[in-house]
Amino acid sequence: MLIVAGLALIAIAALDLFTTVLLVRGGLSIVSPFLTHGVWWAFRRCDRALGLDGRLMLLAGPTLLVLIVLVWGALLITGFALLYLPMLGDSIVASQGGTDRSFWTALYYSGFTFPTLGMGDVVPVSTTARMLTVIQACTGFGAVTLAISYTLSIYNAVSRHDSFALHLHGGSDETGWAAATLAALCPDGAPDRSTGTSLEQIAERTYELLQIHESYPLARYYRRRRPEFSSARIAFHLLDLVTLAHAVFDEGEDARLLRARGFVSLRNAAFAFVEISSGGARDDGQDDWREHFDRSLAQLTQRGIAVRDTPRAWRRYFEMRRRWDSRARGVAEHMGYSYARIADPDETDMGALQGST
């Protein structure tokens, strides 16, 4: 039974390491997803109970990364310790004096063999024990290498996420409003060829971010202090951008934008991103949609984009927003943000970025 249990723990750790680090997007991880959801749930509950307004949740991502790596190591060390336990006193002995046959000695031997090939005070004397020791040493070296690689990949993913968030925020003239982004894409008050090209570039970066979140789900749980950096703001901004464009540019030559490759790509990318980032749909009403639409329309008008049929534009905006608002709300609430602040940036969000994320 000890051997079976030991092999099972080793197999679980090896499989989780392989599927999490090497087989990205495979969706076959065993330990990491449960640990991630459990720890994130605990951080959210504690943050709410202490009234810390998301400050405690800033530690969730780094804590999860450390815990996942420690769990991999603990499973491998414990698994090999169970294999060594029956060998103590016969195949594995103390270099001086009698050999303690307790589990703690087996755990001690396994723990030092994992990263360093042992300390020399407990040594293998049989061929089987020696070969098992070498196998564990190689496994430990491989596990440490993969853990380092995974850590670097996570922080690279976080960096690329923040870079795209800054790109979107800067494109809105640092207001956080999709209407400002749309106006900047139409400098003469109407879309042209450069508008479609710019939308396609945003779509490419959105697909890149989508790939990052699918390959390294842990990167989603690096919660940002400022909403500008959050997945929730990115998702809402992209969806609101395509929805406003759909509502405003629906007549004459302007309608060509809605058929352009860049617009179609961005719309599909935005919907895919909100689906993978969502913690579940939250349908809490539509009372504030009209106010948001009116404020967006005012920004577009101020920047020279005329809306010929406001009632029709509102109907088109309303119909399209119904398709995604509950998902966007779910992203915000899952990450511990106020949806009102995500959807309608207040005055503190409209200035240049300052302070830490």
pLDDT confidence bin for 349, thresholds 50/70/90? very low
pLDDT confidence bin for 141, thresholds 50/70/90? very high
Would you say residue 337 has pLDDT above 90?
A: no
Structure tokens at 336: 């511990």
Burial of 289 (0-12, 13-18, 19+ CB in 10 A): middle
Q: What residue ranges do the domains of the chain occupy? A: 2-148, 172-349
**Alpha-helix runs per DSSP H in the chain:** 2-17, 32-50, 60-84, 103-116, 127-171, 178-185, 193-215, 231-248, 256-259, 261-277, 289-302, 310-321, 325-334, 339-343
Q: What is the pLDDT of residues 152-170, one digit of tens each?
A: 999 999 999 999 999 999 9
Backbone angles phi, psi at 254, to 5 degrees: -60, -30
Would you say residue 58 has pLDDT above 50?
A: yes
**Cα–Cα distance list, 320 to 43, 309, 317 (Å):** 34, 17, 5
Mean pLDDT score across all residues of the chain: 86
3-class SS letters over 71-103 = HHHHHHHHHHHHHHHHHECCCEEECCCCCCCCH
What CATH fold (topology level) applies to the domain 2-148?
Helix Hairpins (1.10.287)
Mean pLDDT of 56-71: 94
Q: What is the pLDDT of residues 203-226, one digit of tens each?
A: 999 999 988 888 888 888 898 888
Q: Name the most confidently modeled range: 70-79, 211-220, 284-293.
A: 70-79
The answer to whether the beta carbons of residues 6 and 83 sit under 8 Å apart is yes
pLDDT confidence bin for 348, thresholds 50/70/90? very low
Structure tokens at 3: 């051997």
